[in-house]
Amino acid sequence: MDEIRRVVVYFRTRPLEPSFSDQALKEQRAAVSHWLADNPASVVAEYSEQEIDGMPRPRLAEAVAKCKTTNARLLIARLESIGSGSSFEPRIATVSVDIAPKTIREIGHIIPCPQNALFGLSLYFPDYRGMRAVPVYLCNNADRQLENLQVTIAGITSKIESLPKVRSLTASQLEESARARDASNCFPHLPAFSSTLIDHYEPMTDGDEIMSYATTFTERNGLRRQMSALIGSGALTARFIKLV
């Protein structure tokens, strides 16, 4: 009988943003459980890193050392950013590394606004440097709940030859020639200081277009209001884009 593999599990938390941290840890444990169900293994030890921007990762060093002494593989529970932190890009060559599956979130999934969110409404890209599908959240960083939201997304082919990589653009700057894709989603409400998942931005395909995000909602005074933002063609270079 083949010897069962051994793994050391590495979790990440962010104590400066406890609401994000608690949710992220719950998702990581679920992801590890899914991985273990598909890849039977004995968990030798677990290490949980309390991430602080710009600081070293002592628990990661301990996890790698444990892998070496027990001939185990390192199982990383999450690569995605947590809150306003950065995504984790491990460069580990001294031990074998596995990555737990990425958490799948449906359109409409709600999370808190990160600490560094722009005031008011903005598009929020947690992993804006990613080269695969990047989650797009509508971030309501204000003290009022929005009702009856409708978000319309369109990819626009433009004749403009040169545009900044990411910024809010006005309609007068566009000469629209075709729409690559259209989507519209409705949400009953968006609580204050919360963000809801509205799209997944694909840098390899959407990056060839100008992406339009138009949002209509009801203010607490009962009036309907529309705001929008456009993403210039090319890779994302900012975590937030203000809606105007």
How many Å apart are CA 119 and CA 101, to the nearest integer? 33
- pLDDT digit string, tens, across residues 133-187: 889 999 999 999 999 999 999 887 654 444 444 444 444 444 444 344 567 899 9
Name which CATH class applies to 5-99.
alpha beta
Name which CATH class applies to 110-242.
mainly beta
Q: Which helix (H) or strand (E) holds 6?
A: strand 5-13
The secondary structure of 44-75 as a DSSP string is EEEEEEE--TT---HHHHHHHHHHHHHT-EEE
- pLDDT digit string, tens, across residues 111-142: 999 988 999 999 999 888 776 788 999 999 99
Find the mean pLDDT for residues 235-244: 90
Cα–Cα–Cα angle for 164, 140, 163, rounded to 5 degrees? 5
Find the mean pLDDT for residues 48-54: 92
Backbone φ and ψ for 64, nearest 5 degrees, come out as -65, -45
Strand order in the sheet with 41-50: 41-50, 5-13, 73-76, 97-99
Q: What is the pTM of this model?
A: 0.75
Residues of the chain with CATH 3.40.50: 5-99
Residues of the chain with CATH 2.60.40: 110-242
The amino acid present at 53, given as its one-letter code, is D
Q: What is residue 207's three-state secondary structure?
A: helix
The pLDDT value recorded for residue 202 is 83
Looking up tokens 């990383």 gives 76
- pLDDT digit string, tens, across residues 55-80: 999 999 999 999 999 999 999 999 99
